[in-house]
A = this chain, B = another copy of it.
């Protein structure tokens, strides 16, 4: 049987969608499962505030509903996991959020998680999600690289900041596994892991991996709408 995992980039920047798509190549090796990456046209250029997060929920639900027949699982590829619980009402197919999957996968590789965020303003928002997920005590800390969009294009600068922030998480805050708190940073994973000598998780890859399993096994989530 052919299976198709729909990966949604909830911001409208197609370059990010392309990055996400590249990140999945490592998981595309002859699995008989196709990843299809979609850009949410209605999304903001980047998701940087709670309003951005909430603004994508309804169009994302509509996108999920329109692809429901074609998909065996969905991945929401933004570290704020926007609309994760609403999406699980829009379909009974598994819906994986990359923050949830990245953090939970990290717990299989280490005891205390360090998160590398892009912007400091996202940290309290992420903290609310971690508390709602119930794993905040396993998070050693979250630090931001504090780079604007244009600087992220510079691999040397970005790699330098990620290394610096990662080292503080490991050396000063006790993290023994790192999660990159943003979709599409997969290109830095290997180098960072080698430099810092701790496991480093790309959350999109972690979620995509869990989506393959969920798709293969045919997990079905309970229809919340019906029991309400």
List, in ascending order, chain B residues with CB within 8 A of A224's CB: 49-50, 121, 124
Asked if A133 is an interface residue, CB under 8 A from chain B, the answer is: yes
Contact of A217 among B49, B205, B214 (CB under 8 A): B205
B85–A225 CB distance below 8 A: no
CB pair B111 A27 closer than 8 Å: no
C-alpha gap A41/B83 in the complex (Å): 22
Chain A positions 95-135 with a Cβ under 8 Å from a chain B Cβ = 96-97, 100-101, 104-105, 107-112, 119-125, 127-129, 131-135
Report A175-228 residues with CB < 8 Å from chain B CB.
176, 189-190, 193, 197-199, 201-202, 205-206, 208-210, 212-214, 216-222, 224-225, 227-228
For the complex, what is the distance from the CA of A159 to the CA of B42, rounded to whole Å? 45
Mask of A20-52 contacts with B, CB within 8 angstroms, 1/0: 000000110111100000000000000011110
> How far apart are A213's CB and chain B's nearest CB, in angstroms?
3
A69 in contact (CB, < 8 A): no
Is A58 in contact with chain B by the CB < 8 A criterion? yes
Instruction: Evaluate contact between B137 and A111: CB separation under 8 angstroms.
Output: no
Q: When A31-B31, A104-B104, A209-B216 are in contact, do A51 and B134 touch as well, CB less than 8 Å? A: no
Q: Write the nearest CB–CB distance from A23 to chain B, whole angstroms.
A: 10
**Closest chain B residue, CB of each to CB of A223:** B197
Query: Quick one: given A48-B228, A199-B221, A217-B26, are A210 and B134 in contact (CB under 8 Å)?
Result: no
Identical subunits present: 6
CB distance from A196 to the nearest CB of B (A): 9
A199 CA to B92 CA, complexed, in Å: 10
Whether B199 and A205, one on each chain, are in contact in the complex, defined by CB atoms closer than 8 angstroms, is no
A86 adjacent to chain B (CB < 8 Å): yes
Q: How far is the CB of A94 from chain B (nearest CB, A)?
A: 7
Query: Does A138 touch B at the CB level, under 8 Å?
Result: yes
In the complex, whether A136 has a CB less than 8 A from a CB of chain B is yes
Chain B residues whose C-beta falls within 8 Å of the C-beta of A90 in the assembled complex: 51
